[in-house]
Amino acid sequence: MSRLRSRGTFITFEGPDGAGKSTQVKMLAEALAEQRPLVLREPGGTELGERIREILLHQPEGMSAEAEMHLFMAARAELLRTRIEPALAAGRIVIDDRYQDSTLAYQGGGRGAPVEWPPTFPKPDLTVLLVLPPDVGLDRIRSGGKGLDRLDAEPLDFHRAVAAAYDRLAAAEPDRFLRLDARGAPEEIHAQVLGRVRSLLAQSEVRA
C-alpha cells in the first residue's frame, strides 16, 4: 500500500506533550521552504478533522478508550485521503505533527485500546521521536500557559505508559525512527533532524 506514494516523502513527528514538536516542525518546514512542504498537525487539518479535534480535546464527559481511538483514526483517514496522499502522489514532502504512532502510544499504550496500524495508512519514511521524561513534559506545558487539554490532564502514570509505548514502537522499527532527547537545545535537535531528512531526500533522488 505504501508503494502507492512512490514520489513524495512522508515525515512525522512524535513524542509527549511539551517535547517541543511544534518548534521542530516549524524549523524543519523553514529549512525546506524552497521545496514547499505540506505541514499538518493531528488531529485536524480538514474541516471534519477540526470538528473531531474539538470533541477529542474538550469533551467534558470524556469517552470510552475505543471511541477515542476511532475518532483519532477517523480524523486521520480524512486527512490522508484529502491532503496527505494527494500531496505525496504529487511528489511533495509532507510533515505531519503526530500520526498513527500517537494513537498507538496514547490510546494503545496509555488507555489499553486495541489499536492496530490499518493497511490503508501509509508508513512514514521517517518518524522523529522526541523523548522527554513525562514529568518534565507536563511541567513545560503547565508553565507554558497554554492550559491542559483532556489528554494532558491525565495522571502521570498515563504519560509514563505513553512514553513506554513510544519506546517499544521505536525499538521495533529502528530504521523508521530517529529518536532524539528533547532536552537538547532546539538548534541541535534541528541539526540532527535536518541531517537525516537531507540523506533521506538524497536517497529518494537516487531511486527516482
Q: Does 103 bind ligand TYD (CB under 6 A)?
A: yes
Backbone φ, ψ for residue 192 (5° rounding): -70, -40
DSSP 195: H
List the one residue from 14, 42, 78, 96 that touches ligand TYD (CB under 6 A).
42
Q: What's the Cα-to-Cα distance from 102 to each of 40, 41, 112, 143, 162, rounded to whole Å?
A: 14, 12, 13, 23, 9
Q: Does 17 bind ligand TYD (CB under 6 A)?
A: yes
Helices 134-144, 156-172: inter-axial angle, 10-degree rounding = 120
Does 66 sit near ligand TYD (CB under 6 A)?
no
Residue 190 is given by DSSP the state H
Shortest distance in whole angstroms from residue 2 CB to ligand TYD: 19
Q: Which residue is nearest to ligand TYD (CB)?
A: 106
Tell me: does residue 43 bind ligand TYD (CB under 6 A): yes
The residues that bridge with 11 in the sheet, in sequence order, are 95, 126
Task: Select the residue interacting with ligand TYD from 12, 46, 102, 127 (CB under 6 A).
Answer: 102
94 C-beta neighbours (distance < 10 Å), count: 25
For the bound state, the minimum distance from the C-beta of residue 8 to ligand TYD, rounded and expressed in Å, comes to 20
8 A C-beta contact, residue 20 and residue 103: no
Question: What single-letter amino acid sits at 201?
Answer: L
For the segment 149-168, give every residue that binds ligand TYD (CB under 6 A): 149, 151-152
Nearer of residues 42 and 125 to ligand TYD, judged by Cβ: 42
Q: Which is nearer to ligand TYD, 3 or 155 (CB)?
A: 155
Interacting residues with ligand TYD (CB under 6 A):
17, 21-22, 41-43, 57, 72, 97-98, 102-103, 106-107, 149, 151-152
